Structure formats: C-alpha cells, structure tokens
Amino acid sequence: MKYEEEVFKVINNIEKGNKSAIDKAKKRVDSLAKPLGSLGKLEEIAIKLAGITGKINNEINKKCIIILSSDNGVVEEGVASSPQYVTLAQTINFSKGITGVAVLAKENNTDLFVIDIGVNCDGEIPGAINRKIRKGTYNIAKGPAMSYEEALKAIYIGIDMVREAKEKGYEIVGVGEMGIGNTTTSSAVLASLLNCEIEEVVGKGAGLTDEAFKRKIEVVRRAININKPKKNDPIDVLSKVGGFDLAGMVGVYIGAAYYKLPVVIDGFISAVAALLATKLCQDIKDYLIASHISKEIGYKIAIDNIGIDPMINLDMRLGEGSGCPIAFSIVNYACAMMNNMATFEEAEIDPSYLEEIRDKKSYIVNKK
C-alpha cells in the first residue's frame, strides 16, 4: 500500500466545520432562558458539536477511546521512571479493566480500542488489536525513530481505527496512549515543531529524580541535534524524533475530522499529537475538544498553539486517555443544555432586556 497517497487523500478531503450549523447553534444558545454566555464552555461545546455533525441537536450515546500502545527505543537512555516492560503489562491490563483509563471509561459506559502499534513483544497481546509495525522505535538519541514510510503507516493505522469506530456507530472518540518513554519523544517533537527552548517542554513525566530529569533534557537536545527534524514537515519530525504511538494518534485526529466525529484530547502526549495533526491540516481544529489541563510542563505550549481551551483542571498527568471519559460527561451536559433547556419564549420571559448587552458584545462565546 502507498501510505503517503492514502493519508494525504484523507487529509485533502477534510472539510471545515459546518458554518451554517454553527450560526444556527449560536442563535439557539442565545435564545435559551439564561444570561448570555452564562453556561460558558457548555455553550462552546454545543456550538462546536453542531459544526461537526451539521445538526443543532446532538446526542452522544456511543463513546470510545482509541489507545495506541508502543515502545520507544529512547528508554535506553534512562529517561523514564518505569521499566520498558510496563508498556506491555499496561496494554494487557487495559482489557482487564484495571488501569486508570479503564475504570474511568467503565464508569461512563465508554469502550476502549487498544491497539498494539509497536509494543516490544512477540505474539498477540490479549485484548489488543494487532497492528504492530515493529517491536518499538529506534533510539532517537542515536538516529531517527523510524522511517518516513513507517510514520505514514502509523498515521494510516490511526485513520483506519476511526473508520472502524464510525462504522460501529460510535459518536465520539477520545485519544489515549501507552508507551514508556513517550513524554521524551513528545517533548522532542514539540521542541522541533515550535523551535522553542527544550527546557520549556521537557517535564518529569511519570516522575523522575533530578539527575534523571537533567539527563532527559540532554537526551532531547541530542536527539534534535543528531536528527535535525524539519519543522515545516510534521511527518519528518514524527519520523525522526517521535514514536509509533504518537503517529497513530495523529492519524486518529485526522480520521475523526475526515469522518466528522468529535475527538477529545487527553493530556500532554495527546495534545502534541493533536498539534501535529493541525500542522498537517488546520481545519482539524474544528473537530477537537480539549479535556483537562495536564500538569506536564509542555502541555500549555502545545494546547495554546492549537488554539483551544481545556474544559477542566483536575491536576491530572496520567495519560492513557484518562481525561476523555470525564470530558465525555461534560459533552453530554452540553447536549442536554441544547436539547432540553427552554427558550425565553417557551419560558414566557421577555428577552428585550438583553438587547443592550448583545449590542455591546459584553459576553463572549467561542472566544477562539
């Protein structure tokens, strides 16, 4: 298969959010019996959903999180607090329902699609879909993580998983990952894309000693110096300093936009993948919903560069897609507001007192 041709065929057919539906949704939101803008992000989400689906009234009943699992060769450099075998262990544990994201997903009737896109093991992983490219990437501190073609293949796998989710009737997807060492690769990708200071984007991940943290910064610096990723070519950046998990997540965002599904960003790694996707196609932003503010240092830089706001702050930094099922609940609340709340007319309230406020534009909805 010619992965480049297939990936860019999808990218080139992504459409912007439906402006007519967005305008009608804004009008509906402003007609509801409440002070203008008073339901804040619930209003923003309801309006964004209209742009995605083309419908003013939406319901989100069938939900899933697509989790990309892969190992990263850079763990050789001692940049992770957990040993590499944890990638495999947790990938197995997703299907057992005992990981962080699994228990949160179960609480919100959310299904998990766990994809082995590059776990360092032989044979099938129980409960995982086998789309393994190979057993982990190469060490980015010594050379490119993968070939350009492998990066495109991983992106294609993510797109294809969204196709499958769409065909199975899922109405919203979240994006998760599992891969020891992937905060290092994500930091390297972010620094390369934005040409920012490495110290601004490298965090302690799951928890590092001060000595290991300093080593992690130097490893990211070395990886960028050795590989010289081209910031204007997101796939080149991915292939040189990224990971199969990151590339697969990029594909999920691309696929969600193509198949017109709302897609929820989790934390730091998920946000870096979303930024990569928007670098490939800016219109993907119209389909993105940010869940929570990650405690990882580079998260704010990534999400600000996308240009969207997260909805909650729970001081989370687990990853796995753990913020997505929580965000799904808030999306449901936005739908409930839009579908069931009375308008001023239905509530028999004269809204004329709001005209002066409207004229002065003293409230803001969809500020970005």
Domain regions of the chain by residue span: 3-58+335-360, 63-330
Phi, psi angle pair for 139, to nearest 5°: -75, 110
pLDDT tens readout for residues 195-225: 999 999 998 776 778 888 889 999 999 999 9
Domain 63-330 has CATH 3.30.565.10: no
The rounded Cα 288 to chain-centroid distance in angstroms is: 8
Same fold? 3-58+335-360, 63-330 = no
Rounded to an integer, what distance in angstroms lies between the CA atom of residue 331 and that of residue 337? 10
pLDDT tens readout for residues 67-116: 999 999 999 999 988 999 999 999 999 999 999 999 999 999 999 999 99
Rounded to an integer, what distance in angstroms lies between the CA atom of residue 281 and that of residue 287? 11
Active site residue 320: yes
359 residue type, one letter: D
Query: What does the pLDDT read at residue 359?
Result: 58
177 residue type, one letter: E
Rounded to an integer, what distance in angstroms lies between the CA atom of residue 266 and that of residue 293? 9
End-to-end CA distance of the chain: 39
**CATH, range 3-58+335-360:** 1.10.1610.10
Catalytic choice (5, 199, 320, 348): 320
- 10 Å Cβ neighbour count for 96? 11
Query: What does the pLDDT read at residue 301?
Result: 97
pTM listed for this prediction: 0.95
Rounded to an integer, what distance in angstroms lies between the CA atom of residue 101 and that of residue 266? 11
Query: What does the pLDDT read at residue 356?
Result: 65
244-259 per-residue burial string, b: 16 or more CB within 10 A, e: under 16 = bbbbbbbbbbbbbbbb
pLDDT averaged over 10-residue windows placed end to end, the chain, 368 residues: 96 98 97 95 98 98 98 95 95 97 98 98 97 98 98 98 98 98 97 95 80 91 98 98 98 98 98 98 98 95 98 95 98 98 94 69 48
Query: What does the pLDDT read at residue 204?
Result: 76
